[in-house]
Every structure is written in C-alpha cells, then in structure tokens.
C-alpha cells in the first residue's frame, strides 16, 4: 500500500523550526484508531486485553494514550515497571514478562501486584523468597515448544534455538510446583516468531497453546485463566507487502478457541496479547534533513540522523520506506544510499533506494519507526538521541521527550574533574 506521511513538507518545516531535526513524531489519531480496532477484533473474548510491550516505545505519554484505550503493559525491566507505575498502572494491568530476571525486579513487580510470567522453572527458587509470605492467586509461565515453527506461507522461526521459555515437561512441572504453593489461576505465554506479516500467526500459535491448556487443565486439575499470545504481529514495512488484518486475526483466533477451548468446556479463558510493533510501528516516523550529497562509486545522501537514532537498518538490514517531503509525486532520479554520520559502514537508512532528486535541506520522512525505533537508540560516536514529539488529534504538536544534550552525554562523569570541564551548567 502507498505510504503516506502524516506531515506535509510545510508542517514538517514548521515543526523543525521549533525542534531541530532529527526528531521522532508519533500520530495520536492513528495510535488510538488502531488500538480500538485491536479491541474490537477480540471483543468476542470478554477477558481480552492487549498488554502493550513497553520496550517498543517506552514513553509515558504514549503509554497514557494506550491506557486510555484499555491497554495494560508488558514490562520486562525495572525501568519499564516504573514507567507503568508512572501512568498509574498496577495490578493486573501489568504483565511482567522478563528473562534472566534480577530478584529486585521480581520484588518490584510483586509489590505492584503485577502478573508475573516466569521464563524458567529455576526462577521459582527466587520467587519463593519474593513470595515468602505467600504466592499471589495468579501466575503465568512461558512455553517454548522447541523444534521449528512453520506456517503455510513458509515463514518460520526456530524456537529450539531461542533462549526463552520452558519445555512442555517443565511447564507441567512448574504448574505443579505453583499449585502446591497455593496459586489458583494459571496463564500460558509463548512468543514464537517476530514481525509476522501473515494473518495466520496468532491462530497457529493459539492452536498450540489452547491444546496445551486443555491438557494441563485436565492432567493437573488446574484452572487456566488466560492464554497470552504475546507479540510478533508484524507490519508492512515495504509498500509491496499487505498489512495484517487484525479483524481476520481476531476471527482466526476465535475459530480455534471455539474448536478447542469452548469444546473442552473452557470457554471462560481470557486471551491476552503483548503487541509492540503492531500497536506503534506504523504510527511513528523519524524526520531527518539531507545535509550532504556525495558522488563516488555510488551516490550518497548524507542526513543529520544516524543509526544511533534508528538502529534497525544497521542491525537487521531492515527496510524503512523513505518519503522526500514535498517531492511525493516526483519520479525517481536514480538509486541512492541514505547514510548517517557514524564511523560504521552499516549506518545506512537505505541502500540502492530509488528516490527523487534530493537537495541539501530537503526533509526525509522515514516511515514505520514508531516501535523499536527511538527505544533502541544509543550514543556511539557521541551521537545524541533525538526529541520525541506527539502529533495530537487536534493537529497541535507536543514535545513528549526532549532531545539529549551534550551535558546529558557527559553527566555520568559527574564526580570527576573532567565533568567540570565538559558540562556547561
């Protein structure tokens, strides 16, 4: 599908006059509409809840919008738990899905009354200390079926090579141990494939987890309260791909639910999801300015953002569509590499990309960076993370995180003589 920026060139220039490029901008209207569609697509399940994967876009202003749309939060670290707390979420609005978890984080999650999703059976030893006064009624475990995960269109992943979750035997053993410790309601969680652009992923995953749920409930005589399908629902990063249809996904899960759970007399199991990319990816973009044109063996467009602002292309070779604002309808003038300033040759937002003639000063709009974008930012080469802005429903723009300054970069030297020389105030 054609990718249309939420900003015109004029609007982007107006914003850039106040917040110099590069900046991230998120589209409140898009976020809300999408979240409503997710809730509608699963409305057939009365216990349904989307726990937004905070790591994708850890910004409390974004989280507040999602909370207003009925979402909870999937947190995996102390900082993410604190962000959840900052927007007033606690209790069963927080799913703590972490791995290699430090005890202090389990303690914080426990104090918040969060639902704890255990990654490994050995963690129960640590949790016995955290819950020395008694376990909560509800606990979840993470399942890893091993093997290879296939779908009919060939997309697959390798759960056997993934560090997450427990084997089936361990899931049953963990349920037994938790039951002995007084837990009454059990959840099953699994995340088997990432960025799936297929309406089939959740239904195929659900079939596995529902079957496991029926087996565990029968064999161990326990109450399965929820199935957490976790994240992994992808987005159409390229214009050629077809976007996932969340209504088809919801309907696909409903059919498997009726076939397996309702048929087994388990029609009261809640469905949870922990989507990050699908909730935010399409509703954020990185706006950067062309500042150099270079012609050597290839044609380069140098921009003022770099991989420290958006790591996905460098890290995964990920495609992000680019629109040259104001030149939306101009024909391609050739193939270009769009590059940042890092002293790393993988610092390329696009390779051999057909683009219209770009002049220094043009604004480039890098699409679909709302999830795992700013969040993965880093400071290599002393590069600073950009501001995050929110395009509100009324068209106004709010700064929801300021850009880093050099003082931020130097502040961790703060007890040394160097800090006094480097930090301006």
Name which position in 74, 80, 105, 368 contacts ligand PLP (CB under 6 A): 74
Least Å distance, CB 230 to ligand PLP, is 4
Is 164:119 a contact under the CB 8 Å cutoff? yes
Whether 75 sits among the annotated catalytic residues: the reply is no
Residue from 313, 375, 359 nearest 340 by CA: 313
Q: How far is CA 228 from the centre of its chain?
A: 15
Give CA–CA dist 154/181, Å, rounded.
42
Regarding 244 and contact with ligand PLP (CB under 6 A), the answer is: no
Residue 216 vs 371, nearer CB to ligand PLP: 371
Both structure tokens of 393: 């429903």
- Residues 49 to 68: which contact ligand PLP by CB under 6 A? 53, 55-56
Regarding 371 and contact with ligand PLP (CB under 6 A), the answer is: yes
Sole window of 1-9, 65-73, 213-221, 268-276 interacting with ligand PLP (rule: CB under 6 A): 268-276
- Residues 186 to 225: which contact ligand PLP by CB under 6 A? 191, 194
Q: How far is CA 137 from the centre of its chain?
A: 28
Least Å distance, CB 231 to ligand PLP, is 2
Residue 19 vs 191, nearer CB to ligand PLP: 191
Least Å distance, CB 70 to ligand PLP, is 18
Q: State the alpha helices, DSSP H only, in 221-310.
A: 246-256, 277-280
Regarding 277 and contact with ligand PLP (CB under 6 A), the answer is: yes
Residue from 231, 223, 213 nearest 171 by CA: 213
Residue 193 vs 303, nearer CB to ligand PLP: 193
Angle between helices 123-130 and 103-111 (to 10 degrees): 50
Name which position in 54, 65, 256, 275 contacts ligand PLP (CB under 6 A): 275
Residue 153 vs 194, nearer CB to ligand PLP: 194
Both structure tokens of 87: 């927007």
Sole window of 60-68, 270-278, 335-343, 374-382 interacting with ligand PLP (rule: CB under 6 A): 270-278
Both structure tokens of 310: 């958006």
Q: Which residue is nearest to ligand PLP (CB)?
A: 231
Regarding 356 and contact with ligand PLP (CB under 6 A), the answer is: no
Is 403:287 a contact under the CB 8 Å cutoff? no
Residue 12 vs 192, nearer CB to ligand PLP: 192
Regarding 97 and contact with ligand PLP (CB under 6 A), the answer is: yes
Cα dihedral value 300, 305, 308, 311, nearest 10: -70
Residue 58 vs 356, nearer CB to ligand PLP: 58
Residue 34 vs 97, nearer CB to ligand PLP: 97
**Distances 354 to 109, 290, 311, 321 between C-alpha atoms, Å:** 48, 15, 21, 11
Sole window of 35-43, 231-239, 362-370, 409-417 interacting with ligand PLP (rule: CB under 6 A): 231-239
- Strands of 68-131 (E only): list them: 72-75, 94-97, 115-118
Name which position in 274, 304, 347, 362 contacts ligand PLP (CB under 6 A): 274
Residue from 249, 310, 194, 353 nearest 37 by CA: 249
Q: How far is CA 127 from the centre of its chain?
A: 27
**Distances 307 to 159, 355, 411 between C-alpha atoms, Å:** 29, 20, 22
Helix, strand, coil content of the chain in percent (nearest 5) = 35, 25, 40
> Residues 374-413: x/- map of binding to ligand PLP (CB under 6 A)?
----------------------------------------
Active-site positions? 343
Give the footprint of ligand PLP on this chain (CB under 6 A): 53, 55-56, 74, 97, 191, 194, 230-233, 274-278, 371
């Amino acid at each position: 599908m054609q990718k249309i920026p939420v900003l015109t060139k004029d609007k982007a220039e107006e914003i850039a006059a106040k917040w110099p490029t590069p900046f991230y901008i998120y589209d409140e209207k898009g976020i809300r509409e999408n979240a409503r569609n997710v809730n509608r697509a699963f409305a057939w399940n009365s216990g349904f809840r989307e726990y937004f994967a905070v790591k994708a876009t850890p910004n409390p202003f974004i989280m507040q919008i999602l909370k207003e749309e009925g979402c909870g939060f999937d947190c995996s670290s102390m900082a993410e738990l604190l962000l959840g707390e900052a927007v007033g979420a606690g209790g069963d609005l927080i799913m703590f899905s972490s791995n290699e978890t430090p005890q202090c984080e389990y303690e914080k999650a426990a104090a918040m009354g969060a639902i704890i999703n255990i990654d490994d059976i050995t963690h129960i030893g640590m949790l016995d200390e955290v819950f020395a006064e008694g376990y909560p009624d509800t606990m979840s475990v993470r399942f890893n079926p091993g093997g290879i995960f296939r779908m009919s269109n060939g997309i697959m992943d390798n759960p056997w090579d993934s560090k997450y979750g427990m084997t089936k035997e361990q899931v049953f053993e963990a349920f037994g141990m938790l039951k002995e410790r007084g837990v009454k309601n059990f959840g099953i969680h699994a995340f088997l494939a990432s960025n799936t652009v297929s309406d089939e992923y959740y239904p195929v995953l659900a079939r596995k987890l529902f079957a496991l749920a029926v087996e565990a409930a029968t064999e161990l005589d326990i109450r399965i309260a929820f199935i957490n399908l976790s994240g992994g629902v992808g987005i159409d990063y390229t214009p050629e791909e077809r976007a996932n249809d969340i209504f088809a996904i919801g309907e696909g899960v409903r059919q498997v639910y009726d076939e397996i759970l309702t048929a087994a007399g388990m029609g009261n199991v809640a469905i949870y999801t922990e989507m990050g990319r699908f909730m935010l990816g399409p509703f954020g973009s990185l706006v950067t300015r062309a500042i150099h044109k270079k012609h050597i063996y290839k044609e380069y467009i140098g921009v003022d953002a770099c991989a420290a602002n958006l790591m996905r292309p460098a890290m995964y070779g990920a495609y992000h569509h680019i629109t040259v604002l104001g030149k939306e309808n101009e024909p391609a003038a050739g193939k270009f590499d769009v590059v940042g300033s890092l002293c790393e040759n993988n610092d390329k937002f696009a390779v051999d990309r057909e683009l219209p003639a770009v002049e220094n000063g043009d604004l480039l709009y890098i699409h679909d960076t709302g999830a795992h974008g700013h969040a993965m930012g880093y400071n290599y080469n002393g590069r600073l993370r950009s501001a995050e802005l929110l395009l509100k429903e009324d068209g106004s723009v709010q700064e929801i995180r300021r850009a880093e300054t050099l003082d931020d970069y130097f502040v961790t030297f703060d007890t040394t003589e160097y800090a006094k020389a480097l930090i301006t105030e």
